[in-house]
Chain A
Amino acid sequence: MTRSCAFVFLGIVEKLIYAFKRIVDFNKISERRRVFQTLCGKLLGAPHARSSSARELPSKPASKTYVPVGLAALTVSYSILWISFPFFLIEAMSSLLSAAQVSVTKTFSSGVPSLIVKLVDGSSLALPLTWQRCGIVSITVFGLLFLLLMYPLQGPFLLKVAWLEIGILMGLTWSLIRLSIAVMISYHFGASVFTITEFLTGPLTDIFWMVAVWSLMLSSLASRKRC
């Protein structure tokens, strides 16, 4: 009796297993999971993305798709940048200069945020942060060149977005540094020196951070291509 019951039970279990296997294909699940993990790994730039399962992925999307997606990323970045950058720069500069015991006043009249610095000789230096002055042009140039020349190269998309954001951050930081240097030199040597220091630390030096950032990115992409 017990043996009969056990056979019936095992029979039911077997039928249930077959039924379950028919509904959900285990092989397909493992395949999908593997592809998903590889895709996530590739997007995040994880080293395990280069495992053998990566070969099972469908062929890489054509480079044309990278440009519109990159353009979208760029547009979002620049929308935020254009709106907030001059205000961010004013706040950051005034904090920096105040920390260095320099008397500064922020004004937001006539739509252009400005900084009024009281110099050592008692005179004042008005510094309106126009779009030419605050480094947005260089950052835009960097972004466009990056979009056209870097996005189509082989490599994880998220890695490229990360490098784009690093580049933008570098541009922002450099703008902050060069304007602060120009203001500090003027603070000690007079308002007339400001034009010279702005010239020397101006757009010509932007090439350094631009080239440096994409050199590092090329290096990281080339290392992935080689692996």
Chain B
Amino acid sequence: MFDFLLYSIFALLVTTMSLYLIRHYVFSLTALYKRKGQPLYSLHGLSFRPTVSVLIPARDEEAVVGRLLNRITEMTYPKDKLEVIIVDDASKDDTSRIADEFANTYAYFKVLHRGADVGGRGKARALNNGVKHATGEILICFDADYYPQVDIIEKLTGYFVDPEVGVVQGRITVLNEPITLVSKLVALERIGGYRVDQLARDNLGLIPQCGGTVCAIRRDLIEYLGGWDNNVLTEDTDLTFQVYEAGYKIRYANEAECYEEAVENWRSYWRQRHRWAKGHMQCFFKHLWSFTRSRNLRLREKVDGLLVLGLYFVPILVGLSWLLGAVIFFVYPVNWFDSIWALLPVFMYGSAGNFASFFEVGVGIYLDRRVRVSWIIPVLLMSFVFNVFICSKALFDLILSKVAGRKVHDWAKTAHVGGST
């Protein structure tokens, strides 16, 4: 009986890995061969120029915020339709001074200062504060360490000609890629995640994810949804599912590119990914039932959505399958198991990785015509093993906080040094 249970669990794990494997290959092949042209910002010759509010939540970002604000002044979007709101989230450094300087120089810049009593408790709270003061039809969020293209607003807002579109997500590319091995690995993950994964999902009519930054959203939609959820650590994933449950769509604009400063050491990587993993798992439990039951979604969207929700459980499942495989291999040696055991590299090959498998990253690199960076693809296995521990710890912490009845989770902010320009 116990043997049967072990084999059943192992079979279930292998099936789950196979599902993610198929998903990765479908996305990679779609990105390679389904070259559906994405509409440019001048859709059908129309010149759609809604009023836009750019929201920039910033906490202790003196090293990078000036670069972003300066870049916004260079943007080609008509300034009479543009409003920039910097939410200074109880910064202890010079962030507020830099923001104030820009607000004094440019009339379309506003600064909201959040005091130490209310500030510093997460990005969602800062964004919700910004929404209250925003007047634009479309809200665009940028993190303080980002560096967008000058015409990114036109590219993002063009999609809103379609009334079904609620959110448009742009592409994120790593700015400080050559600095360390960690930033190189993050760059690879970003290439796979955006150039292949998001693009394929957009082409296949599935669920492109809102990334929380470099994304545009209708103001009336976010107000209807009640703003960003303060208690979820990944407010972007939560927003993605809320938008779809409300009957709107998310589009991915590959040509709307923005550069970010990626984490440069393993400690920062751990903190950032731990927050993402925990927040994603929160979303899994929050949306699993409502998303499955939603009448606004097609079956394929539901399947994709469920796979997205379970994304951060995959490293744990792969880790479990290793352990279980070892137990069966040593304790219950059976002839047929040798065959499955020998097939494990296939599943590993296809489903390992936190956002995208190795092949997906490779395809992204190939499409971007990158050369040298593909040499370090095998090193991604290291970050994958790291993610097994990160996700396991995140799940453990989440269960612990559920048992303890804690609703407010600590927000681990990623520090930016602004070394790259």
Chains A and B belong together in one complex: yes
Query: Provided the pairs A141-B349, A222-B369, A225-B369 are in contact, do residues A215 and B377 lie with their beta carbons within 8 angstroms?
Result: yes
Q: How far is the CB of B270 from chain A (nearest CB, A)?
A: 23
Does A113 reach chain B (CB closer than 8 Å)? no
CB neighbors of A among B324-367 (8 A): 326, 329-330, 338-339, 341-346, 348-349, 352, 358-359, 362, 365-366
CB neighbors of A among B11-35 (8 A): 25, 28-29, 32-33
Q: How far is the CB of B200 from chain A (nearest CB, A)?
A: 14
Q: Are A226 and B345 in contact (CB under 8 A)?
A: no
Q: Are B345 and A222 in contact (CB under 8 A)?
A: no
Does A207 reach chain B (CB closer than 8 Å)? yes
Contacts of B362 in A (CB 8 A): 214-215, 218
Report the bound CA distance from A202 to B345 in whole Å.
Answer: 10
Binds B, one of A49-57, A92-100, A130-138: A130-138
Binary contact track B135-164/A, C-beta < 8 Å → 1, others 0? 000000000000000000000000000000
> Which of B348, B366, B374 contacts A225, CB < 8 Å?
B366
Report the bound CA distance from A219 to B326 in whole Å.
Answer: 35
Does A112 reach chain B (CB closer than 8 Å)? no
Q: How far is the CB of A149 from chain B (nearest CB, A)?
A: 6
Query: Provided the pairs A204-B348, A207-B352, A211-B349 are in contact, do residues A222 and B374 lie with their beta carbons within 8 angstroms?
Result: yes
Q: Are B345 and A207 in contact (CB under 8 A)?
A: yes
Closest residue on chain A to residue B377 by CB atoms:
A215
> Which of A204, A225, A226 contacts B344, CB < 8 Å?
A204
Contacts of A218 in B (CB 8 A): 362, 365-366, 374, 377
Q: How far is the CB of A132 from chain B (nearest CB, A)?
A: 4
Closest residue on chain B to residue A141 by CB atoms:
B346
Binary contact track B358-399/A, C-beta < 8 Å → 1, others 0? 110010011001111011111001000000000000000000
Does A145 reach chain B (CB closer than 8 Å)? yes
Q: Which of B32, B342, B343 has the most CB atoms of chain A within a 10 A radius of its CB?
A: B342
Does A195 reach chain B (CB closer than 8 Å)? yes
CB neighbors of B among A196-219 (8 A): 196, 199, 202-204, 206-208, 210-212, 214-216, 218-219
Contacts of A210 in B (CB 8 A): 345, 349
> Which of A133, A152, A196, A215 contacts B374, CB < 8 Å?
A215
Does B77 reach chain A (CB closer than 8 Å)? no
Report the bound CA distance from A60 to B325 in whole Å.
Answer: 46
Number of residue pairs A-B, CB distance < 8 angstroms? 90
> Which of B341, B343, B346, B375 contacts A219, CB < 8 Å?
B375
Q: Are A138 and B342 in contact (CB under 8 A)?
A: yes
Report the bound CA distance from A73 to B359 in whole Å.
Answer: 22
Q: Are B329 and A206 in contact (CB under 8 A)?
A: no
> Which of A199, A204, A226 contacts B371, CB < 8 Å?
A226
Q: Are A223 and B345 in contact (CB under 8 A)?
A: no
Contacts of A176 in B (CB 8 A): none
Q: How far is the CB of A134 from chain B (nearest CB, A)?
A: 10
Does A221 reach chain B (CB closer than 8 Å)? yes
Contacts of A149 in B (CB 8 A): 25, 28-29, 359
CB neighbors of B among A161-210 (8 A): 195-196, 199, 202-204, 206-208, 210
Contacts of B344 in A (CB 8 A): 203-204
Does B259 reach chain A (CB closer than 8 Å)? no
Report the bound CA distance from A141 to B344 in whole Å.
Answer: 10
Q: Are A226 and B369 in contact (CB under 8 A)?
A: yes
Report the bound CA distance from A4 to B368 in whole Å.
Answer: 72
Contacts of B7 in A (CB 8 A): none
Does B108 reach chain A (CB closer than 8 Å)? no
Q: Are A141 and B343 in contact (CB under 8 A)?
A: yes
Contacts of B375 in A (CB 8 A): 215-216, 219
Does B322 reach chain A (CB closer than 8 Å)? yes
Q: Are A199 and B381 in contact (CB under 8 A)?
A: no
Q: Are B378 and A212 in contact (CB under 8 A)?
A: yes
Report the bound CA distance from A210 to B358 in whole Å.
Answer: 10
Query: Provided the pairs A132-B341, A199-B329, A203-B342 are in contact, do residues A222 and B381 lie with their beta carbons within 8 angstroms?
Result: no
Does A35 reach chain B (CB closer than 8 Å)? no
Report the bound CA distance from A132 to B342 in whole Å.
Answer: 6
Contacts of B33 in A (CB 8 A): 63, 152
Does A67 reach chain B (CB closer than 8 Å)? no
Does A153 reach chain B (CB closer than 8 Å)? yes
Q: How far is the CB of A164 from chain B (nearest CB, A)?
A: 16
Q: Are A203 and B371 in contact (CB under 8 A)?
A: no
Q: Are A211 and B358 in contact (CB under 8 A)?
A: yes
Contacts of A138 in B (CB 8 A): 342, 345
Contacts of B371 in A (CB 8 A): 219, 222-223, 226
Contacts of B32 in A (CB 8 A): 152-153
Q: Are B381 and A211 in contact (CB under 8 A)?
A: yes
Contacts of A212 in B (CB 8 A): 378
Contacts of A206 in B (CB 8 A): 345
Q: Are A222 and B365 in contact (CB under 8 A)?
A: yes
Q: Are A208 and B378 in contact (CB under 8 A)?
A: yes
> Which of B345, B352, B365, B377 contacts A141, CB < 8 Å?
B345
Contacts of B25 in A (CB 8 A): 149
Contacts of B346 in A (CB 8 A): 141
Q: How far is the CB of A86 from chain B (nearest CB, A)?
A: 14
Task: Give me 5 A-to-B residue pairs in the complex whose CB atoms sit less than 8 angstroms apart, sorted by A's number.
Answer: A130-B338, A153-B366, A212-B378, A215-B376, A222-B365
> Chain B: residues with CB nearer than 8 A to chain A?
25, 28-29, 32-33, 322, 326, 329-330, 338-339, 341-346, 348-349, 352, 358-359, 362, 365-366, 369-372, 374-378, 381
> Chain A: residues with CB nearer than 8 A to chain B?
63, 130, 132-133, 137-138, 141, 145, 149, 152-153, 195-196, 199, 202-204, 206-208, 210-212, 214-216, 218-219, 221-223, 225-226
4 further interface pairs, Cβ-Cβ under 8 Å (given A222-B365, A223-B371) = A203-B344, A206-B345, A222-B369, A225-B366
A-B pairs, top 8 by smallest CB distance, nearest first, are A137-B342, A215-B377, A219-B374, A132-B338, A206-B345, A226-B369, A132-B342, A223-B371
